[in-house]
Structure 1
């Protein structure tokens, strides 16, 4: 969310959540072509049994089940890129890198090696038939392993923002208001746009990693750096001229001045923030989900110390108000530096593409998908800014209640959001593996897991609704109002989680434009107008706003699930294959061709 709700779980303007409270308190298939090359047996029929390979007469020609899928998650690290030559059955039980093709008269001399990462299902007894229930269990297990480190990453990322809020919150009411306004402006004009463009990599990188051209992961990341650099120019122009813009929008002069100061110092960390949104996806697409978690875990304590020293520390180093945005900017830069060090020295170079002029090619794909991604992400962030403004018209009690509810919903949203990231990577990997059947199963599993997670949060809110507000505020009116709206928030959890999952699935399939249309229609055509109508014309106040939000997410989740469950994953695999073939042409000397999407 933005000012009060951080969808995509990045440091947007979450400080305003806490600022409001502080202010109130103070007042398919299994890559058949590769198996053909490995066995030298020529093409096999398209029999989808997940366990055996047949000849043209349907007879098992291998004598043992073949692997159902490529693996794509490390238990704690990426296995060394160390091909092993030998008979295929000998290499199924243990492998330390990609399968190496057996040499025979039919094997291409330059046959590509496909990077693999160990999965638990790779070590299972291959003689056991792969039933539907086992397939679902495997996918649920893989998605769970992917989700946990992503969840940790975003929780630690919260600390970067919370430390800034705490440090500024005790300076003055004006400073608190300025930081709120500054962070809201940063979210609307900067962070949401960066995250929208970066979401394009959820489409490009996972499928490239499990294809025969894993170096395209590095190439697409380099291309996104070029696109993001261009996008930063207008954002920085807005931030550096923000005082005049805020004054034009009738903000208080002193608050506008301090907010502009906040943005100018925060802009030091903006390029690093953009780079981090790329590097995180670079690691995650390879299954290295724990890398961003380790990095931010190391930076979070440094950020807390910097906030204290620069805002409240000893006189020689104390900077006061500007210390908080400087501390956050330094933390973003530290994350960027550590990401580069980790990528250079601790991760195999399988995914890296040497720096070349190719990073300036095929940028149109990223721009087109990126603009759709901005529509998908920013439309949601901006909608919550509007809801926050509407709530501010209902009085201080409603405003404090809104902040309690949205901070709570922000926190619980981290789990389904982490699952959406995991689903996006997993499905993208499977598309690159040309495995549409598993992609379809992963889609269904992620939706089912979202329902389970949402049920846990909904139950928690309902059980503790009478006392939930005491975690934030002890005002009897706030406690009572929070308790009366929490049943709607409980229902909201279910559809919010489903919307998050379907958004991740759509990103994996390159359907950001569809996601943008869903969000725009859900929030701006249905949810917000309906909520405002209930709140102000039917005097339902804050209840009306939350009913409108819930209705918008019911619509978004229902259509999103319908689209995802009806997806033609064979067609999505074909789209990935076409894109990879098009991007391979420059390397073969045929000239650059913009990759289709």
Structure 2
């Protein structure tokens, strides 16, 4: 007799256990001759197992036929007859109070699987729910349907040969198995709380359903802490500009040049590479592949730390020669090079913080980075002031970058401690050589992400270089305008992150309608904040400009150009949130191509013509920049309106299959290959349907083979 078992190449030995095992009962009759010791079972049990789909079914026998019912919940525990209802359990939730009679057992014979499952349904629905943790009727129905589906699968076994079939669909229908797996993973306490639970009909998980009002509320719930996070994080840069700008126009121009080079060579690439995680990590989490969430984050971290080395060489030894080639102000270039030689030591902390932020957001943990920034953003303001102006420890201009370095490092340490000891550690994949393998998909997404972000950032910096040709006052005014516009840009960008995460979750669960609804919700929210941004900038432009400079000429020029800056917010906000939807779809390359065309074919040439040929100077530069962003927003809107969502979902499935080639191995169960590792994550802990167990004992062969 033979049995086809799941391939363990990528599963790392973890499969789901809906329920097991009553003493003296064989849940799968005697059809399976495979015998093993299930890790965690007490020694007096000889266990048999058979795997199919994403479930393990275990039969247990013992010589002590009078012993009480045993339930696996990380270890075998003994219960008296009053507690035999605990047939189903997970790592942390106890006493679901599902009656033992839900599965027909006989202490001296095998489990009998009846053709008629109505008694199972009646038993569960009639059982009093007042004392049950699963008091919610919807969750009860999910449990009933899951058990009925299991009964159907058990009936596929014959006495002659055991043919392993996925829990959902047939072995030939790999995508169906994946879809069901992804949807089933949404049925957890966290996803139910986020309105992401999948209903069950006829034993199959259905697409996630949501309405526009609910989705808008959920999007705001996720976006508000992100808005706070991004604004507080950018305040670290703003505080340097704010305090240094009050020293003098030359110092303000120097900070502008230093930020120009830092954005192009470090911060832009870092943001672009980590944008790949906004696709990879949420989709992995959406299909309950927790190990991959951690692997993607670690691969990204290693890549970014490698890129820090050439940045160190460039900023320390090459910044002044490079800046002096493009900017005629020698004093500003010297100060900028000095600023960068200190700032480079804060980049590792910034890298760790950004990767951890994406890693946690993929798990739905949006508040962690906000808490960290609530602590350190005010501290950074005080530290910058002290290190610039304090008579005892103040160092003047160079104190500003030193404050940023200290703050970035401490923020990374605090967020790392939060992840390790409070929440988010559940997706940690452990130390593995897999860190250095399979970088192709991350690089494939990171490349367009870098282009998408750098194209926009570099356009701003080219505008700053053009502004420098009009004099120090124009360059200082450009620094003020850019700082204000980038600060308010954090609002739509935060909304885009929330939108990309939810869209990726819905794509991960193959829920087309919910993904479309989520896209509509993010557009509505962006419209609200666009009106707010335009109003604030246009009405308070004089007051805001005076915060960054005491030079009256700089304030006057900044206030004049900020009228255009206010109008610029309309296409900029729209382009930002639509770019988030594209990232959720895994289509960063669309935004990359658009930004290249709109900025370098339209915006910059038009800015040059209006600024220099028609003598509009700084105002002309911003009119040209606005035209390019408007083109990007219009095209992205047109593209998303005409998106083939079915194709997007299919491409997501195909991409996973391509990156898991062993799924096509006929000896392997495809549904088992992407099962999560045995982690006490929030999803695993509170998933009443499919708790997880560790299948492979220590030293067992992890290769795909027949047992």
Aligned to 1:283: 360
Does the alignment pair 1:114 with 2:191? no
Query: Post-superposition shift, 1:133?
Result: 12
Aligned to 1:419: 495
Structure 1 distance, partners of 2:330, 2:538, is 43
Q: Deviations over 1:246-297 (max 9, x none)?
A: 3454665554444333222222111221121111111111111101000111
Structure 2 distance, partners of 1:318, 1:484, is 34
Select which of 223, 231, 236 maps to 1:147: 223
* Structure 2 residues without counterparts, runs of 5 or longer: 1-17, 20-89, 99-120, 155-163, 168-180, 200-205, 669-673, 675-707
Does the alignment pair 1:202 with 2:281? no
Give the TM-score, by structure 2 length: 0.64
Corresponding pairs, count: 508
Structure 2 distance, partners of 1:558, 1:480, is 32
Query: Post-superposition shift, 1:155?
Result: 1.7
Select which of 332, 339, 361 maps to 1:262: 339
Structure 2 distance, partners of 1:81, 1:557, is 47
Aligned to 2:377: 300
Q: Secondary structure of the equivalent of 2:211?
A: helix
Aligned partners of 1:227 and 1:367 also within 8 Å: no
Query: Post-superposition shift, 1:542?
Result: 3.1
Structure 2 distance, partners of 1:410, 1:302, is 22
Q: Which has the higher contact order (CA 8 A, sep 6+)?
A: 2
Shift in CA distance, 457/169, structure 1 to aligned 2, threshold 3 Å: closer
Shift in CA distance, 348/82, structure 1 to aligned 2, threshold 3 Å: farther
Structure 1 distance, partners of 2:477, 2:338, is 30
Structure 1 distance, partners of 2:480, 2:261, is 21
Query: Post-superposition shift, 1:141?
Result: 0.9
Does the alignment pair 1:531 with 2:574? no
Query: Post-superposition shift, 1:519?
Result: 0.6
Does the alignment pair 1:327 with 2:370? no
My pick for the range that moved more, 198-207 or 265-274, is 265-274
Aligned to 1:93: 136
Structure 1 distance, partners of 2:196, 2:250, is 60
Aligned to 2:635: 559
Higher helix share: 1
Give the TM-score, by structure 1 length: 0.75
Select which of 296, 299, 312 maps to 1:236: 312
Aligned to 1:579: 655
Shift in CA distance, 502/235, structure 1 to aligned 2, threshold 3 Å: same
Structure 1 distance, partners of 2:560, 2:336, is 35
Q: Deviations over 1:181-229 (max 9, x none)?
A: 3222111111111111111111101111111312211111111122223
Does the alignment pair 1:223 with 2:294? no
Shift in CA distance, 171/454, structure 1 to aligned 2, threshold 3 Å: closer
Aligned partners of 2:452 and 2:588 also within 8 Å: yes
Query: Post-superposition shift, 1:301?
Result: 3.2
Structure 1 distance, partners of 2:483, 2:326, is 26
Select which of 505, 512, 516 maps to 1:440: 516
Shift in CA distance, 123/252, structure 1 to aligned 2, threshold 3 Å: closer
Q: Secondary structure of the equivalent of 1:354?
A: coil
Q: Secondary structure of the equivalent of 1:215?
A: helix
My pick for the range that moved more, 174-183 or 530-539, is 174-183
- Considering only CA atoms, is the larger Rg found in Structure 1 or Structure 2? 2
Structure 2 distance, partners of 1:433, 1:123, is 9
Q: Deviations over 1:375-412 (max 9, x none)?
A: 10011001011112223333566555544443332232
Runs of 4+ off more than 6 Å: 87-90, 107-113, 465-468, 473-480, 586-590
Does the alignment pair 1:343 with 2:343? no
Query: Post-superposition shift, 1:534?
Result: 1.8
Select which of 345, 349, 360 maps to 1:272: 349
Shift in CA distance, 573/214, structure 1 to aligned 2, threshold 3 Å: farther
Q: Deviations over 1:503-555 (max 9, x none)?
A: 11111112122111101111110012112212222233333222212211221
Higher strand share: 2
Q: Deviations over 1:114-152 (max 9, x none)?
A: 36314557599x9xxx9x997111111111111100010
Select which of 372, 377, 395 maps to 2:448: 372
Select which of 580, 594, 597 maps to 1:518: 594
